[in-house]
A = this chain, B = another copy of it.
């Protein structure tokens, strides 16, 4: 387990929640993957080693981890959610033709967030956005 994974597990116990086998396993899969995974992908990663871990447990724990700020839910544009370990805040830019994705720092969106907060009175919580478009390679096709 990585250093930051240990930090998360300590946090979970410190907040009075239980450190169960499925919960740790889900975190480990997300850490090992590095990027974002769908609930089904996580289930498939886990199933060989822990065949008793059920889908509802995956969904409930992902929601639990999200509400506690340990993972982020990223809407993929097709109306499904993927999950990833919370690191630095960022967003994605995905090519709708070939699927290539690049990360963009949240700092690029910060000015927009501030402008939106001023003009609407809302306080925005930083969440993940996926911007769709055509990557430089596929751009000619899209035109």
- Residues of A with Cβ closer than 8 Å to B? 73, 75, 77-81, 93, 95-96, 102, 104, 108-109, 111-113, 115-117, 119-125, 127, 129, 131-136, 139, 142-143
Contact = CB atoms under 8 A, between A and B. Distances in A.
A123 B122 CA distance: 29
Copies of the chain in the assembly: 2
Nearest to A77: B75
Contacts of A116: 93, 104, 108, 131
Contact of A121 (B78, B104, B111, B135): B135
Contacts of A79: 73, 75, 79-81
Contacts of A80: 79
